Amino acid sequence: MTDMNPAGRLWGVGLGPGDPELVTVKAARLLGSADVIAYHSARHGRSIARSVAAPYLREGQIEEALIYPLTTETTDHPGGYQGAIDDFYAECALRLAAHLDAGRDVVVLCEGDPLFYGSYMHMHKRLSHRYATEVVPGVTSVSAAAAVLGRPLVERDETLTVLPGTLPAEVLAERLAATDSAAVLKLGRTFTKVRDALEKAGRLGEAWYVERATTGGQRLAPLAEVDPAGVPYFSLALITSPVNAGLPAPEGRADAGTAPAAETGTAGRDRTEAAAAGTAGRAGEVVVVGLGPAGRPWLTPEAQEALAAADELVGYGPYLDRVPPNPRQRRHATDNRVEAERAAHALGLAAAGARVAVVSSGDPGVFAMASAVLEVACEPRFSGVPVRVLPGLTAAHAVASRAGAPLGHDYCVLSLSDLLKPWDVVAERISAAARADLVLAIYNPASKSRTWQVAAARDLLLEHRAPQTPVVIGRDVGGAGETMTVTTLAELDPAAVDMRCLLLVGSSTTRVAERGDGRRVVFTPRRYPA
C-alpha cells in the first residue's frame, strides 16, 4: 500500500448489551461514518449486533455479513470443528482486508465489549498487525446484568470471577466456591452443568439468571427456578456482592414481544486461533443461487450466506441488480440468452480459485441456471470444479401464495417457450396435463417475439377443462408493479399476459371463494372427489 493510496482503518466497535441507547457516542459516530460495516451472524442471517447498530447506520454503506458455517461442533471438515472455524475466520479476514487495502475504513460490530469474549477478537488477531486498528470498548453483559438486577458486583476488597460455562463442571464448582462474586457466561446448552456446579459449591441460592439484559426480551429470575429448555446462549448466571445479600429481589420481567435471536453458538468462544492462511491455490467453487421472485425478503438465509462470501457474481443483468453492490466483489452481467457461455465463464473463474455465485431468479433449478451450469460442469475441462445449487422461492409458489392455495393438490409446471423445445412437445404436454386434471403452473407465457402461445394453450386446455375453470395471472409478484388477476379459462385475455407473468390454471376441483373481508381466494382442496 502506497502513500498515494493509504490503507483503510480497522475498528472493533463494542455496542453494549443490546439497548441501542447504551451505544457510546464514539461508537455511534463511527457507525455513521464508516465505509464498511461488518458483523457476524448465524446462518439464519439475523444479527443482534446489526440490529443494535441499525439506528446509527446510513444509506449506501457497504455491509459484510460474516455468516458462520456451522453452529454446533458437528462437521465433516477434515480439521474438525476447529479447522472449519479457523478457515471461516481466515476467509472473513481476507474479505475485510480487501476493503482495507482499497482504502476503505471497516467497522466490525460486536455486542458487548469487543475484547471480552467478543466475536471481533478473531478479526483483530488476524488483521491488527497489518492495518491501523482501534478498539472502541462497550458495556459488557456482566455490567448490564448487575445494573438490571440493581445489585453491586463487588465492594471494597471483594473479588469478582468471570467464568465461561464451557469449563468442566468440577472446575466451575471449585472456582465458584472460592470467590466473592461471580459471572458465568455462555449458558445455553451448558445451563444444567452450571446449575449443578453452583449447587455443589453451595452458591445456587445466591445465583440470579439474567437473559438478554437491557433489551425488550430481558428476563430476570432466581437461577434455581429456571427451566433449562428455554435458556439461550445470550444469558448469564450472576452472584453479586455478598455485602448486599439483603437487598430486595429485583422485579423480574419477560416481555411478550419476541426476543432477538442469538447471533450464533460459536460467537466469542475463547480459543487459541491460528494465524490467517492465504488463499493462494485455494479451491474455488460455483454456487448457483436462487434469489426468489423479488427482493431480500424473499431471499433464503442460505442464499444470503453464499452471496456474502462470493468473490465473483455472475448472472443476467436484471437479476444481478437485485444484489446490493459490494466493491470487494466483481460482477459479470450477461444477456439472458447466453446461458452456456455464462456457465463456462463462472466455472472458469472457479477453476482459478474464485468463489463464484451464479444468480438466478426464483429457484435456479426451475427453468433457470442450475441445469445450464451442471451441463457445462460435466464437461471434462471442468470436472474438478465443485458446484452447489441453493434453492429459492419459485415464482409459481409466490403467485400461489398471493392467490391463496391453488397448488393445494397435484400440479405440474411447464414452460410455454418454444425456444429450446418444439411447440409440438409443448402442446402435447399441455393436453396431457389437462386430461390428467392437474393444476398447471405456466412459466414464460409470452414475450415480445412470442405472442400467440397463450391463446393456443388456452384453446388446448378448453378441450378438456370447463370454461369457468379458475385462472390466476400473477405479474411481478414481490415487486413494485405486482398485480394479481383472477379470471376464468374462457375469459383469459392473451393481451393481458407478458413475460413478467406466471399463469396458474386450476383443475376441476379448484375453487374461487369470497371471504368475509371481501377478499377472493383461490384454492384446490386436498381431498379429491371419489
Three-state SS for 92? helix
The amino acid that residue 184 corresponds to is V
With a cut of 50, which residues of the chain have pLDDT below it? 1-2, 253-280
pLDDT of residue 456: 94
The C-alpha cell at 84 is 472449519
CATH 2.40.110.10 fits 285-393, yes or no: no
Q: What distance in Å separates the CA atoms of residue 388 and residue 97, rounded to the nearest whole number?
A: 26
Hey, is 198 helix, strand or coil? Answer: helix
pLDDT at 266: 31
Name the 3-class secondary structure at 334: strand
DSSP 368: S
The residues near 139 (Cβ < 8 Å, ≥ 6 apart) are 14, 16, 17, 22, 112, 113
8 Å CB contact between 210 and 235: yes
CATH topology of domain 10-137: Cobalt-precorrin-4 Transmethylase; domain 1 (3.40.1010)
Compute the distance between CA of residue 329 and CA of residue 312 in angstroms, rounded to an integer: 5
- How does DSSP assign 133-186, residue by residue? EEEE----HHHHHHHHHT--S--TT--EEEEETTS-HHHHHHHHHT-SEEEEE-
Which of 329, 326, 331, 358 has the alpha carbon at shortest distance from 342?
Answer: 358
Burial class of 243 by CB neighbour count within 10 A (0 to 12, 13 to 18, 19+): middle
325 C-beta neighbours (distance < 10 Å), count: 12
Q: Are 31 and 107 in contact (CB under 8 A)?
A: yes
User: Can you give the residue ranges of every domain in the chain?
Assistant: 10-137, 142-243, 285-393, 396-523
**Contact indicator for 30, 36 with CB cutoff of 8 Å:** no
User: Which residues have a Cβ under 8 Å from the Cβ of 337 and sit 6 or more positions away?
Assistant: none
Instruction: Kindly report the pTM of this predicted structure.
Output: 0.75
Was domain 396-523 assigned CATH 3.30.1370.60?
no
CA distances to 279, 386, 479 from 356, rounded to whole Å, are: 15, 10, 26
DSSP character for 529? Answer: P
Instruction: Give the C-alpha distances (Å, rounded to integers) separating 188 from 47, 73, 264, 267.
Output: 18, 14, 11, 13
Largest distance between two CA atoms of the chain: 92
**Same fold across 142-243 and 396-523:** yes
Bridge pairing between strands 355-360 and 285-290: parallel
Locus of grid cell 393481451: 495
Which pLDDT score, from 0 to 100, does residue 292 have? 92
How much is the pLDDT for 281?
Answer: 55
CATH architecture of 142-243: 2-Layer Sandwich (3.30)
Strand partners, 440: 412, 505
